[in-house]
Chain A
Amino acid sequence: MQKRLIVNHQLLEIMVMRLCHQLIENHGDFSDSVILGLQPRGKYVAQRIQRTLQGILGKQVPTGLLDTTFHRDDFRRRDTPIAANATKIDFLVEGKKVILVDDVLYTGRSVRAALDAMIAYGRPASVELLVLIDRLYTRHLPIQPTYVGRQVNSLLSQRVLVEWKEQQAEGDAIWLITKTDE
């Protein structure tokens, strides 16, 4: 297994800061906007975005966690089953401008499931998608992000891994992992 660093912690901090300013450009004071992090890995991105926005705006943007397990289209078709995570949304989605947040956009199937899962909480005014990494030319569905940290060209056999201090990693970093035959 080869592990190549593609974004270090300073770059990641700048990237999150830039994404937050882009969000402010579109959402102003966030009076009608909410953030939804996709479980499991989008949780850390959503929390980081919320914290950074709080530093800039001085207010807390409502942030929830959305689990898509029961809405996935690969149930009974995967080799390894996925465990469900908690959904935590203590606000109404109805009429809100929703920002879906995830770490890596790959096939787009999770995002499709998330759109499906989100509708169970009401009809949002609009939905945007924010991702740290957009893997190019890998989409199975016509889904594109509104805000992108970085676009990455990668092989199907490769994997992009986003690590955070919060999950006991050594530090914040984004890696490109290549499996090698050993």
Chain B
Amino acid sequence: MQELSVRHLLGIKDITPQDIQLIFETADNFKDVLNRPIKKVPSLRDITIANVFFENSTRTRLSFELAEKRLSADVINFSSSGSSVKKGETLLDTVNNILAMKVDMIVMRHSSPGAPHFLSKYIPANIVNAGDGTHEHPTQALLDSFSIRERLGEVAGKKVVIIGDILHSRVALSNIFALQKQGAEVMVCGPITLLPKYIKELGVKVETDVRKALAWCDVANVLRIQLERQQMKYFPSLREYTLYYGIDKKMLDSLNKEIVLMHPGPINRGVELSSDAADSHHSIILNQVENGVAIRMAVLYLLAQRG
């Protein structure tokens, strides 16, 4: 199998374990390209990609843009602030206007869950979901698994705990799907108010004690508290959250094993992770960022191949 089973990357839920494997194998080759003196290949030279961001982003947007440029694609950037969206244009009209300028692929971030799925029904371009509300963030989950595979050799059979604001996290949901499709065991951990009510039905373990979770796992993926998405108070204060769920170097050292520490960024230092933990040898946070470019190159390359 040398081709993806899908035309769009809308979520990890829609792709097969073979797709994930193909993306990883292709990303291995692109990682090699990124370590050369000349970090560019001409594969997408006749393709135009629009990065359409209706929500703030630093890492994902830079990572996508760099991936596109490394593949020699033409890139245009759009962000909703300062655009006609503010004047009342609909999503479909905005995107159709961009496509009228002969754009082949759309990378989109939107605050509404399902926005890219909606678009995929109406437009001919390939769509990559760069995060849709609290729903999915597929390329983040792919680069997380790719980084685990790189550090631990494989993902299958590993125990991965996702700690923090699971309720508002698209990274958590995509990671659960991705890890399960590769045969890993998944646990979620956080204050009970930040765990979705029916999360157990996805077949994950649930834990509210972060120490027990760390003792169980091989890998801890720590998430940020998404204050901007929280419409009400889920816990008394950030200080109290840090007291019960914050991870520091001392906790990591007190475990009688080595675990891998991950974070999708942006880190709130001193809240979910202390600085000494984030900068410790356990952490592969910057490797995740590095791998993000290779993973996104692989996704764009393989989708362009599907046409």
Query: Does B associate with A?
Result: yes
Q: Which of A67, A80, A120 has most chain B Cβ within 10 Å?
A: A120
A69 to B301 Cα, complex, angstroms = 11
Q: Is B25 an interface residue (CB 8 A)?
A: yes
Q: Check if A91 is an interface residue, CB within 8 A of chain B.
A: no
Say whether chain A's binding surface is mostly helix, strand, loop, or mixed. loop
Query: What class of interface size applies to chain A in its complex with B?
Result: 20 to 34
In angstroms, how far is the closest chain A Cβ from the Cβ of B36?
5
Within the assembled complex, what's the spacing in Å between the Cα atoms of A82 and B2? 7
Most buried by B among A83, A116, A121: A83
Judge whether B29 and A84 touch: CB under 8 Å.
yes
**Interface set, chain A 59-102, CB cutoff 8 A to B:** 67, 69-71, 75-76, 80-87
A152 within 8 A of B: no
Using Cβ atoms and an 8 Å threshold, which residues of chain A touch B38? Answer: 119-121
Which residues, 7 to 42 on B, are CB-close (under 8 Å) to A?
A: 25-26, 28-30, 32-33, 36-38, 40-42
> Which residue on B lies nearest to A89, using beta carbons?
B36
Q: Tell me if B307 and A76 are in contact (CB < 8 A).
A: yes
Pairwise interchain contact A116-B29, C-beta atoms closer than 8 A: no
Give the size category of B's interface with A. Answer: 20 to 34
With A116-B42, A121-B37 already in contact, the answer to whether A87 and B32 are too (CB < 8 A) is yes
A76 touches B305 (CB 8 A): yes
Q: Which residues on B sit within 8 Å (CB–CB) of A119?
A: 38
Q: A65 → chain B, closest Cβ, in Å?
A: 11
For residue B3, CB closer than 8 A to chain A, the reply is yes
Residues of A within 8 A of B184 (CB): none
Q: Given the complex, which residues of B lie within 8 Å of A171, measured CB to CB?
A: none
A84, B46: Cα distance in complex, Å? 20
Given A70-B42, A116-B42, decide whether A76 and B32 contact each other with a Cβ distance below 8 A: no
A105 to B37 Cα, complex, angstroms: 28
> Which residue of chain B is the closest to A113 with respect to CB atoms?
B42
Is B98 at the interface (CB under 8 A from chain A)? no
Measured CA separation A83–B3 after assembly (Å) = 9
Q: List 18 A-B contacts (CB under 8 A).
A: A67-B29, A70-B301, A71-B41, A76-B304, A76-B307, A81-B3, A82-B2, A84-B25, A84-B26, A85-B29, A86-B28, A86-B32, A87-B32, A120-B40, A120-B41, A121-B37, A121-B38, A122-B37
Query: Which residue numbers of A lie inside 8 Å of B, CB to CB?
Result: 67, 69-71, 75-76, 80-87, 116-117, 119-122
The 9 closest A-B pairs by CB, nearest first: A70-B41, A120-B38, A84-B29, A83-B2, A70-B43, A81-B2, A120-B36, A81-B305, A81-B3
